[in-house]
Every structure is written in structure tokens, then in C-alpha cells.
Amino acid sequence: VFQGRILARRLVGQETRYEVEVKTPYRHRFPLVPREYMWVPNTCGCPPLQEGGEYLLMARRHVNYERTLNRILLQDDGYARPWTPR
């Protein structure tokens, strides 16, 4: 779980890649750097994340079987809510 600001959005194949500025990490299950790529496994724009918007994001670390792919994945069971100070 972390607070982030969406910097850019790009469609790559059947997935959407967001460039995210990590503002505040809340749970440290895996290390985050100040800028990360976050992947969404669809191209429909779900969840609707706007460039420049700040969100509270719950994503998972995805490592494939061969351990050649290590990325942050926002799945259907994760969430992305607009960030508020509360």
C-alpha cells in the first residue's frame, strides 16, 4: 500500500503501464523506489487513473516462474482510491 501520483500512462500490448511517483509507502512488503512502473492487466482504463492525480494504491509484486520478470501489478483484487489526508 502506498500513496502515489500518476505521471504517465502507456498501453503496452494487452496491459496498461503507469509511471508512478511514490510519495509515501505505508506497508513495506517489498522495497519501492521514488519512481516505479505499475502494471494493470487490461487496456480498458480500469481503474480510471488520471495523469497528475494522487491515489492510495494497493498493488502486488509479481515475479514470474523463471524469475525474469519482477514488477508491481494492480490486480482486480487490489484497489486505487483518490488520496485524501484522512
Separation in Å, CA 4 to CA 40, 52, 60, 79, 82: 15, 10, 15, 13, 10
Q: What is the pLDDT of residue 17?
A: 92
Position 9 scores a pLDDT of 92
- The pLDDT value recorded for residue 85 is 80
Contact criterion met (CB below 8 Å) for 31 and 18: no
Q: What is the pLDDT of residue 55?
A: 94
Q: Which fold has domain 2-82?
A: OB fold (Dihydrolipoamide Acetyltransferase, E2P) (2.40.50)
pTM strictly above 0.75? yes
Task: Please tell me the predicted confidence (pLDDT) of residue 27.
Answer: 74
And the C-alpha cell for 63?
A: 515475479
Predicted local distance difference test score (pLDDT) of residue 77:
81
Residues of the chain with pLDDT under 70: 67
Domain coordinates in residue numbering, the chain = 2-82
Residue found by looking up cell 502494471 in the block: 39
